Structure 1
Amino acid sequence: MAIIKKQLILLIICSFLLMPFAGSAVAAADLSPSAFAQENVTMHSGASDQYQAKALISKSKEFIIIGEFTNSLNEHWLRIKYDGETGWIKDTGIRRMDLNAQYFTSSAAKTPIRRGASLSYQHAGDLKHGAMVKIMDTFTREDGEMWVRLSDGNVTGWSRLQDLELFEGTRNYLNKPVFVKTDTQVKRGASSAAKAVYTLKKGKEVTIQSTLINGKEVWHRIADGKRSGWVPGDSVASQVNYSAYMYVKDQSAAIRRGASASYKTVSNLTYGQQVKITSEFVNGSGDIWYKVSAGKGLEGWIPGTSLTSQPMKVAYLTIDDGPTIYSNKLLDTLSQYNAKATFFMVNGNINAYPKAVKRMVTDGHAVGSHSVTHDKNKFYRSPATAVNEMKTTRNTIKKVTGVNSNLIRTPYGSIPYMKQNYRNAMAKEHFIMWDWNVDSMDWKFNSSSYVNYTLHYVDMQEKKGQAPIILIHDRKATVNALPSLLSQLKKRGYVLAPLNESMTPHQFKLK
């Protein structure tokens, strides 16, 4: 009995030693896993001509041999994988290819790599679709199932041959956007010894089409417009840091805490607003996002589709002293011309026309405070009186609209009354003071004559390379002539956008 037990134990040990596992020396099978048809070959659903024909493999077409079988007629048949399908062909009219010259990849999103040539072995990693590998060794199990030993550059192990496919050199497997980390030479082949064809600049966006893993060296085949070639794996990344300036091309663009629309909004940017780019990133969905800095410590992420490198032609229409009985007509006109404005309002008027104020916010305009009294003798009595009037108006805007706006315009502008101590007091309460660089003088003309006067100074600002910040008032004559002003601005190529708190305010300089 003891002898039988010893023999049984010895048999188990021998069986274990003969099983392939990662790192073991496994005798290669005689069967080469890659081949091509030397003539037209019919693929059947089973290892006999009696089985249904599944496909015709044309001459010179490549396929993978994943198993073999000798049927009752003593015919040798091969189980193959061709064009995503598995089936059987007679072992005639084919030519096996040099295994070392062939590249393989996963036929699915990923193929498990195991410690040994069996599904029972531990899962060690995955070969991803589009990653190119060469087969290091092969093993055919007793059931005819072929396994191959390979390495993805990190993990070496065994995968079922039926889960792989021959790598097609012209196919775009990945289509993954990435960025070049440093100035990088593009090579004709996946080797540092290959000839360089051109150079990619740092920060350039390219598309990874496939990845070659040979030993521990990783290369990516990339596409750059109509050009393509190979670059080292560590020369590109999903994120690259650099410094540049871009411009918002949407009417309103949200800055988010992370590089996805699922993240919370930090703030909103305005059409034409310049932002500093500090990082570029491709998220899990393949979308490009930029990390931006918009001033005043405001940072966050914005989709690449919302930005452009080209400066935008933008003007800012600012409207003082409202709301009034003319505000709804004014808002109708702005809507007609798809123009956004910024309303600096007086506290009592907000209480008198709350519906108009709510509509301003709903229509996408910016709102801000313009005092309580609009009386220079009362407002500028002291820094404290000026701050208190703005705080009162800010609270009223929030009560009516839910918007906590720190935008302000002081009565008659900041010169000559807003001395440095007044400005310091406003800044302490987080108020952001705006003046103007185009005064329409609409209060003086009291007619449509203000339009041509305004356009003259708009043109002067354009020659200086400055965005016009236009001052008008919520009054009858101004509102009646507003279509003419908006039409002329549109002809000049301007888009009218609202101010926001992340922008650097235009202020009159202290003398």
Structure 2
Amino acid sequence: MSFTPITTPKVVKSLFPTLVWDIPTKGKDIYLTFDDGPTPKITNWVLDTLKQYNAKATFFCIGKNIEEHPDVFKNIISEGHSIGNHTYNHVKGWKTKTKDYLNNITQAKKIIDLHVKESEIGNQDLFRPPYGQITPKQIKKLQEQSYKIVMWNVLSVDWNKKVSTETCLNNVINHTDSGSIIVFHDSVKASKNMQFALPKVLKYFNEKGYTFKRIPE
């Protein structure tokens, strides 16, 4: 039976101290992130929901999805959110040779660059490894290319269909604090849980005086 920790264990953070797990802040700031898009209808629903709370977020996008849905990707940019690289076709770092992994990321970067070069934010070279799988050698090579590798400290586990909508919501509500980086997915697989939890997360923390920011800011 597999177990997915909602919060990142301290020992994992200590093993990879150069990765971004959270963002120290003196204010009441939270960092929402969305992986695996852009996805028709779902990503636009997320954008509309975020706008209701004047919330900004960071979208770690798959290059192939950007190619297939450029208009949806442009909507993310036009709404003023940050963009991150999530490889070209969601490859697993642990099962991919470093050279092939880097080429896959570069392929996605070229697609991202075409769209964001004239945007307000531009390409900040943020990267998140699919499944959180990345080797020390891959980390070193990416950082040599000035990538900021962004992980998380709160998982909603929205992609898991065995997780109820209420549990998905509580995963976020019960573990989020100032500086937290939260993972949702704007994908078909995660849509039921994500669409239930996201508005409630936004409302809950908004009423407590938190601000939702993009990475970096």
Shared fold per TM-score greater than 0.5: yes
Cα deviation for residue 320 of structure 1 reads 0.3
RMSD: 2.1
Alignment check: 8 A CA contact 1:397 1:405 kept: no
Query: Take 1:419 and 1:329, find their aligned partners in 2: how far apart are those partners?
Result: 34
Aligned counterpart for 1:471 among listed residues 174, 179, 183:
183
Find the counterpart in structure 2 of residue 348 from structure 1. 64
Equivalences for residues 73-112 of structure 1 within 5 A: none
Find the counterpart in structure 1 of residue 19 from structure 2. none
Query: Take 1:467 and 1:360, find their aligned partners in 2: how far apart are those partners?
Result: 22
Alignment check: 8 A CA contact 1:346 1:374 kept: yes
Aligned counterpart for 2:126 among listed residues 396, 399, 407:
407
Higher helix share: 2
| Segment drifting more, 365-374 vs 442-451 | 442-451
Equivalences for residues 462-501 of structure 1 within 5 A: 462=177, 467-475=179-187, 476-477=191-192, 478-500=194-216
Query: Take 2:109 and 2:166, find their aligned partners in 1: how far apart are those partners?
Result: 32
Find the counterpart in structure 1 of residue 13 from structure 2. none
Aligned counterpart for 1:336 among listed residues 42, 48, 52:
52
Cα deviation for residue 385 of structure 1 reads 1.6
List runs of 5+ in structure 2 lacking aligned partners: 1-22
Aligned counterpart for 1:397 among listed residues 112, 119, 129:
112
Q: Summarize the Cα distance change of 1:392–1:448 in structure 2 as closer, same or farther, 3 Å threshold.
A: farther
Higher radius of gyration, 1 or 2 = 1
Alignment check: 8 A CA contact 2:83 2:123 kept: no
Structure 2 residue identity aligned to 1:404: N
Secondary structure of the corresponding residue to residue 443 of structure 1? coil
1:64-115 deviation per Cα after TM superposition (whole angstroms, max 9, x unaligned): xxxxxxxxxxxxxxxxxxxxxxxxxxxxxxxxxxxxxxxxxxxxxxxxxxxx
Find the counterpart in structure 2 of residue 420 from structure 1. 136
1:264-319 deviation per Cα after TM superposition (whole angstroms, max 9, x unaligned): xxxxxxxx986xxxxxxxxxxxxxxxxxxxxxxxxxxxxxxxxxxxx311000010
Find the counterpart in structure 2 of residue 457 from structure 1. 175
Higher strand share: 1
- The question of 1:364 aligning with 2:80 is answered yes
Cα deviation for residue 493 of structure 1 reads 2.0
Query: Take 2:95 and 2:35, find their aligned partners in 1: how far apart are those partners?
Result: 18
Query: Take 2:126 and 2:164, find their aligned partners in 1: how far apart are those partners?
Result: 27
Query: Take 2:196 and 2:123, find their aligned partners in 1: how far apart are those partners?
Result: 31
Same amino acid, percent of matched pairs: 32
Equivalences for residues 291-302 of structure 1 within 5 A: none
Query: Take 2:90 and 2:116, find their aligned partners in 1: how far apart are those partners?
Result: 22
Query: Take 1:401 and 1:408, find their aligned partners in 2: how far apart are those partners?
Result: 15
Secondary structure of the corresponding residue to residue 35 of structure 2? strand
Number of aligned positions between the proteins: 184
Query: Take 1:454 and 1:479, find their aligned partners in 2: how far apart are those partners?
Result: 13
Find the counterpart in structure 1 of residue 5 from structure 2. none
Q: Summarize the Cα distance change of 1:396–1:446 in structure 2 as closer, same or farther, 3 Å threshold.
A: farther
Cα deviation for residue 420 of structure 1 reads 2.1
1:355-375 deviation per Cα after TM superposition (whole angstroms, max 9, x unaligned): 121121121110011012213
Cα deviation for residue 330 of structure 1 reads 0.8
Cα deviation for residue 401 of structure 1 reads 2.9
Q: Summarize the Cα distance change of 1:420–1:366 in structure 2 as closer, same or farther, 3 Å threshold.
A: same
List runs of 5+ in structure 1 lacking aligned partners: 1-271, 275-310, 504-511
